[in-house]
Structure 1
Amino acid sequence: MNIKLLGLLGAAVLFAGCTKTAEVKTPVNMKAKNYAEALRSADKSCKVDEDCTSVNKGCCMCAGKEAVNKEAAAALKPIWEKECALAACTLQMCYVEINTSCRQGACVGTPKPMKEYFAQ
């Protein structure tokens, strides 16, 4: 009787080990209450400059840009579009663009040089 019980317990342990799933890492907190919270949680990891891009910090262009991982940018896009669809922004020229790069495994943004805003 004890041998059957031990066999059953062993099978249960093996089955439990086989059904354990790997943790899935999401590029942003999909339960975020708003775009700003989702942006704060955005993945900024990278290996090369091409892993990085910039996203808006808020609904209006003058809010600036933030450097994030491209997968995080794709996940943020529908959240931004939903939240900012009816946002009222002023129509003024803002110098808030950034150039993104990968430094020490994280996406970073540096202000775009003023000369790059104007046609040569």
Structure 2
Amino acid sequence: MSLTSIAALSTLERTGPRRITELAASEGVTQPSVTSLVAALVRVGYVERRGDPTDKRAVVVAITEAGSAYLGARRAVTAGIFADAVDQLSAEEAATLAAAVPVIERLRDLVERQRGAAQDQK
């Protein structure tokens, strides 16, 4: 699965159902690209199209239980890889990494705020 597909699934899991135009904007890709990506994700059962409750003419895309399960399994594998790598760090390197956690969390918060502000402007 492509990184764009995984990112789109993660966005849907984190933010809930979205219109294709909103998903395209949040992922920084064109609407036709997201339309194709969504079609592929529908075929494998990771997303579904639903009627937009606020506009009966529109459709939103939502992650399915299978899509959430796929992301969970993928994250578990990635977490295991990182855990193995951290185990190979020296005590000094591990301490440096631990000390960096608050800065990494702050960066994540800043990025989330910027994404929110960008979405609010659209």
Q: Could you state the TM-score of these two structures normalised by the residue count of structure 2?
A: 0.27
Q: Could you state the TM-score of these two structures normalised by the residue count of structure 1?
A: 0.27
Structure 1 or 2, whichever has the larger Rg, is 1
